[in-house]
Amino acid sequence: MLRVLTVHRRSAGAVVAACAFAACALAGAAAAAPVRTANVEAELVAERTALVPGQTNTVALRLKIRDRWHTYWRNPGDSGLPTTLDWKLPPGVAAGPIQWPAPKALPAGPLVNYGYEGEVFHLVDLAVPADLPAGTTATLAARADWLVCEDTCIPEGADLALALPVAPTAAPDPSWGAKIAATRDALPRPLAGWGATATGEGDKVQLALTPPPGAGDPGTLRFFPFREAAIEPSGRQVLVRDGGRYVLTLPVAHQLQRFDRVAGVITASAGIGGAKAATLDVPLAGSVVAGPRPLDAPAPRLDLSAGAAASTSTLSLAAALALAFAGGLLLNLMPCVFPVLSLKVMSFVEHRDGKATMHREALAYSSGVVLSFVLLALALVALRAAGEQLGWGFQLQSPAVVAALAVLFFLLALNLSGVFEFGMLAPQSVAGWTSKNRTLDAFGSGVLAVIVASPCTAPFMGAALGYAIAQALPVTLAVFVALGLGMALPYVLLAWFPGWRRRLPRPGAWMERVKQFLAFPLYATVAWLAWVLGAQLDNDAVLRLAVALVLVAFAAWAWRAFRSGGAASWAVAAVAGVAGMAVLVAPLFAPPPATAEARAARATDDGWRDFSPALVEELKAAGRPVFVDFTAAWCVTCQVNKRLVLQDADVLGAFARRNVALVRADWTRRDPQITQALAALGRNGVPVYVLHRPGQAPLVLPEVLQAAMIHEALAGL
C-alpha cells in the first residue's frame, strides 16, 4: 500500500511538474500578447515552442498592417524609415540581424517606396548558449519602432516581450511555426546559376543577367538596391532581351553617393534562380554620374511670367533646344559678356569690308562659339563621368582659371588703352600673317566670348542645361550647339545684313577715343575677377594678383620699347616681368586650405546662413519657410540679383515679416552638396532661387529676379 502510494505520489509530482511547465508556456503566451497601435498590430512570435541550449531559435517581429498602409524595407526608397529592433535578452543569448523579406515597390504619388503591406514577419535568429539552464523561462524583450504610411506617415513603436521555456527539445509552434518557416524559405538568397555584371554608363547602370542553360524566362524583373543614393527608386527600370542574356537598365540616383558595387534584391514575376527573389552583389565597371531629378517628380515652379523657364520635368528635346537657343541669344545681353561684345562692336566700326569678308568672319566667329560650347560640354560630361560633381560655370570655380582670365582681360585692356599692340608679342612674320587673316581673329573672338560667358546663366538656360546634362551625350551636345548658335546669331545677322553700317559715322579720330574708352569695361572685369579670387581664397591672393598685373603691364610696356628699336635690355626686363608674374600666380594653382565643411560652419553677419542639406531640413522641420539662394561670386547675374533684389530693404522686410530663414548656397568653390542639391532641382548652374514653404511644395523662381516676384511668392505663405 505504501509502495502504491509512493508511486502515486511520484506520478502526481510528474503531473504537477507537467502542469507547471504548461503554465509557464501559457504565461509566455500571455506575455507575448500583441500590441495594437492605430495602424499596426505588433508582437514577437517564435518558430519553436522553447529555447534549446546550444541551438538557434528563430523569433519574428510580426506586423499586421492596416489596409492601404505600409511599413518599410531596409532601404525605404524615396522616403520613409526602416523598421528597427533593440533587443534586451538574457545573458548569453545573442540576436542576429533582421532577415528582410523581399520588398514591394509602393508608388506614393511621384515617389516610389520599398516596403510591405498586409502581414509581414521580420525574422531574427537567436543563438542560445549551451549553458542556459533548462527548466527555466527566458524572457525575450525588444523595442520595435516602425514608420507606417498611407497619405500621411506616423512613427509608431511598442515594447514587446516573449517568454519561452528553456527545454532539451522544442516542437514547431502550432500558431506561427509554419508561417515563419514559409517566410524563411521565401527570403532572397544569392542568385544561383546565373551570371551577373554591372556597368556604369553615365546616369544609367546596365545590369546584365545571363541565365544557365535551360532556364525559363524570368518575367518582369525589379531591382531593389541595399543602399540608398545609388539607384533612383522612382526612376524607370527597363528590361530588354539581348541575345542570351537579360539587360536591366537602372537609373542612377539624382542625389548620388559614390558606390563601386551593385548590391540588392532582384525580384522576378516568373522566378529567377529557383525563387521569386534573389540577392546579388557584383562590382560596378565603368563610371556613373548623378541622374536627373525624376521626370515625374518635378520641383514646382512659380509661373510669374510667360518668359519663365520650363521645368525639366516637362521638357522634350525640341523644347530644350528652343530654350537653349533663346538662352544663348539672351546671353549676349548678360553683364559678363559685355566686354567681348564691346570688342566685336569695335570690329564692325573699324572695318568696312565687302560682304564676302564679313560673311567669312561671321562664320568663323560662329564656329569659335559653337566649337567652344561643344568642348565645354565634352569636358563637363567627361569630368562628371569620372565622378566629379560639376555644373555649368565649373571652370571658374578654380582660382587658377580666375587669375588667368584676369591676366587675359588686363592684357586686352592694355591693348585698347594703347600700351602695346598684340602684333608686337609675336614674331613679325606671325604678326603679319594674323593681321591679314582676320578670319582667325574672328574665330578667337568667338572662343573668348564663350569663355567669358560660361559663368552666366541667362533666362531659359537653366532648364535647358539641367535637361542636357542628364541626357545621353548626343542630346547633351545638341543642346550645347543650340546654345552656341543662339549666342552667335546677332553677330551673323549684323554681318549678313550690312545696311545698318550706313548709319555709322565715317572713320576718324573718334574711333581711337571709343577704342580707349572700351578698355574700361575690361578693367572693371579685372576688378570683378580679383573680387572673385578674394571670395575664393583670401586678401593675400588678391594682393598677389594685383602685383602680378603690375608686372604684366611693365612687361608689355618694356616689350613695346624693345620692339620699337630699344636695346636688348628692354627685352630682358620684359621677360623678368613675366617671370615675376608667374612666380606670384603659381601659388594660386595649389589646392585651397579651406574645406567645404569649414565654409559650411562659418556664420554670416547679414542674416544669411551658409547652406547645408541638414540645416535646410532642420529649418523646415521647425515649420519655418526657407529661401535658398544658389549663387557664386563669379556669376555676374547672381551678383546683380543680389544687389538689386535680395538686398532691397522692402524685400528683406518681407522676409522678416514672414519669418523666412535665409540660406545662401555659395558655389564659388566646388561643393558636391550644392551640386547635388542643384541636380535635385533639375538644374546645373547658378543662379537658382528656391522658396521652401511649410506644408506646400517648393517654388523655383526665375533666374532673373524682380522684387515683385519675391513679394508674390511670399504672399502664398
pLDDT value for 13: 43
Question: Do residues 198 and 284 touch, judged by C-beta distance below 8 A?
Answer: yes
d(CA 392, CA 456): 9
**Percent with pLDDT over 70 in the chain:** 75
Residues 195, 182: one domain? Answer: no
Residues 6+ apart with CB under 8 A from 304: 701, 702, 708, 709, 712
Residues 106, 133: one domain? Answer: yes
pLDDT value for 410: 85
Mean pLDDT, residues 21-26: 41
pLDDT digit string (tens) for 631-659?
877 666 777 788 888 988 889 989 999 99
Residues 241, 202: one domain? Answer: yes
Question: Do residues 103 and 114 touch, judged by C-beta distance below 8 A?
Answer: yes
Is 409 inside a domain boundary? no
Residues 653, 690: one domain? Answer: yes
Q: Which of 179-188, 340-349, 358-367 has the highest mean pLDDT?
A: 179-188
Give the structural domain span for 684: 596-715
Confidence of residue 668 (pLDDT cuts 50, 70, 90): confident
Q: What is the CATH number of the domain that holds 282?
A: 2.60.40
Q: How many CB atoms lie within 10 A of CB 620?
A: 16
Residues 343, 428: one domain? Answer: yes
d(CA 538, CA 535): 7
Confidence of residue 180 (pLDDT cuts 50, 70, 90): very high
Q: Which residue has the higher pLDDT, 463 or 448?
A: 448
Is 131 inside a domain boundary? yes
Residues 364, 270: one domain? Answer: no
pLDDT value for 246: 94
Is 691 inside a domain boundary? yes
Is 5 inside a domain boundary? no
Q: Is 548 exposed, middle or buried (0-12, 13-18, 19+ CB in 10 A)?
A: buried
d(CA 240, CA 225): 20
Q: Structure pTM?
A: 0.45
Q: Which residue has the higher pLDDT, 149 or 267?
A: 267
Is the pLDDT confidence value at 177 over 90? yes
Mean pLDDT, residues 276-298: 79
Q: Which of these ranges, 43-57, 96-110, 459-473, has the smallest mean pLDDT?
A: 459-473
Mean pLDDT, residues 599-609: 56
Torsions phi, psi for 111 (to 5 deg): -95, 165
Is the pLDDT confidence value at 377 over 90? no
Is 304 inside a domain boundary? no
Sign of CA dihedral 414, 417, 423, 424: negative
Kindly provide the residue ranges of all beta strands, DSSP E only, lying in 273-379, ordered along the sequence.
Answer: 275-288
pLDDT value for 206: 95
Q: How many CB atoms lie within 10 A of CB 18?
A: 10
Is the pLDDT confidence value at 123 over 90? yes
What are the helix (H) ranges across 220-337? 317-331
Of 474, 492, 478, nearest to 319 by C-alpha is: 478
Residues 6+ apart with CB under 8 A from 584: 544, 545, 547, 548, 551
Beta bridge partner(s), residue 160: 142
Residues 210, 327: one domain? Answer: no
Total tally of structural domains belonging to the chain: 4
d(CA 103, CA 62): 15
pLDDT value for 55: 95
3-state secondary structure 45-96: EECECCECCCCEEEEEEEEEECCCCEEEEEEEECCCCCCEEEEECCCCCEEC
d(CA 494, CA 562): 39
Q: Which of these ranges, 166-175, 223-232, 464-473, has the smallest mean pLDDT?
A: 464-473
Mean pLDDT, residues 488-515: 69
pLDDT digit string (tens) for 182-235?
999 999 999 999 999 999 998 899 999 999 998 989 999 999 999 988 999 988
Gyration radius of the chain over CA positions: 35
pLDDT digit string (tens) for 571-582?
888 888 888 878
Is the pLDDT confidence value at 14 over 50? no
Q: Which residue has the higher pLDDT, 329 or 349?
A: 329
Of 600, 614, 594, nearest to 664 by C-alpha is: 600
Q: How many CB atoms lie within 10 A of CB 259?
A: 18
Residues 251, 152: one domain? Answer: no
